[in-house]
Amino acid sequence: MSDLLLLPDIEELVVQFLLDQEELAEFFDTAVDENGRSVDNPPADRVYSVLPGTKRFPAVRVTRFGGIPRSFRPRYLDAPQIQIDGFAPTHKLAVRLTETCASLLAERLTGTHDQGIVTGVDVGGIRPGDSDFEKIHMRLVTATIYTHPNPATGGS
Amino acid sequence: MNDFEIDMPGILQILSGREASEELRTRANQAVGIAQATGPRGRHGRHVIDRITVGDTHIGPTGAVVDIDWPDSRWHLLEYGSVNNPPYRVVTNAAQQAGLTVIDERGGHV
């Protein structure tokens, strides 16, 4: 077995974390499609790193867009920057969904996860996302997450 | 007893000076080059990322500021994403690689 040290997959870590939070479940009880039409039997776990081809909303997307490790020798402590996008059929719901994600990260993400150990989280404020071309409203928040491998699970 | 006092006015004076402005402008030019080299391109060749340029240099409350301009109505779709594409963060990543911090308080200017 290789002893290569892998930094945590922050997208997987945050997606799984958010899926475990009951405060998000209420957003996914009902769903609409990209045109705002109600749909039946939507998937309940609508937190993704990549939105699926068949989109149902409200939904959350987690994307790592930057950040570099804070230690290089060894390459151990990472500081990824992520963007969390909240998509919903109304502006108000998009704000509430995104702010709920932001608050969950700020208050509960620090700690031990299977994918890695989070030692600190800096979360920004909610800001508008693209709403020029789509019927679905978008809000976003960015965060820097300080994380390193979990020795109990072998890291990523 | 303090043996050392931080001279904030002096630090601000340095950060607002010519050398700081020139250094920032050099890094901004690097960032624009990185953005244009690494940003996503459309199927038809030249894309909106070619419109990213270095803008004005001015003095802000914390020192010299260099604008990176992106005069395209679609810039936010590439930078922050949409339902149809992820946030590529073209300018954010390029600026960070060049050692800059992004200020995006004004619409259309980053």
Angstrom distance (rounded) from CA B71 to CA B50? 10
Residues of A in contact with B84 (CB under 8 A): 134
pLDDT tens per residue, range B54-83:
999 999 888 888 888 998 888 888 899 988
Query: Between chains, do A87 and B83 touch, taking CB under 8 Å as contact?
Result: yes
Q: Token pair for residue A19?
A: 């899926």
Measured between beta carbons, the chain B residues lying within 8 angstroms of A83 are 80-81, 87, 89
Structure tokens at A31: 């769903």
- How many residues are given for chain B? 110
Predicted-assembly ipTM surpassing the 0.85 threshold: no
Please give the pLDDT value at position A156. Answer: 45
pLDDT tens for each residue of chain B, 110 residues long: 668 888 989 999 999 999 999 999 999 999 999 999 988 887 655 578 889 999 999 998 888 888 889 988 888 888 999 888 899 999 999 988 898 776 655 443 33
- Burial zone of A153 (CB within 10 Å; 0-12 exposed, 13-18 middle, 19+ buried): middle
Residues A124, A143 contacting (CB under 8 angstroms): yes
Q: Say what the pTM is.
A: 0.86
| Structure token digits, residue B13 | 């004076």
Decide if A66 contacts A110 (C-beta within 8 A). no
Contact A126, A91 (CB under 8 A): no
Peptide bond into B71 cis (omega under 30): no
Q: Is the peptide bond before A80 cis (omega within 30 degrees of 0)?
A: no
Any B CB within 8 A of A72 CB: no
Residue A63 structure tokens: 């994307």
Cross-chain residue pair A130–B86, CB shorter than 8 Å: no
How many other CB atoms sit within 10 Å of the CB of residue B102?
16
pLDDT by residue for chain A (156 residues), tens only, comes to 677 889 999 999 999 999 999 999 999 999 999 888 999 988 989 999 999 999 999 999 999 998 888 888 888 999 999 999 999 999 999 999 999 999 999 999 999 999 999 999 999 888 888 765 678 999 999 999 999 999 887 654
Phi, psi of A59 (to 5 degrees): -155, 160
Q: Where are the alpha helices (DSSP H) in chain A?
A: 10-19, 22-25, 91-108
Q: How many DSSP H helices and E strands does chain B contain?
A: 4, 2
Nearest CA in chain B to A136: B83
Q: How far apart are CA A90 and CA A87, in angstroms?
A: 9
- Of B77, B83, B86, which is closest to A63 when you measure between CB atoms? B86
Q: Which of B97, B90, B60 is nearest to B72 (CA)?
A: B90
Q: Is the dihedral of CA B32, B36, B39, B42 positive or negative?
A: positive
Chain A residue numbers with beta carbons less than 8 Å from the beta carbon of B89 are 65-66, 83
d(CA B110, CA A2): 43
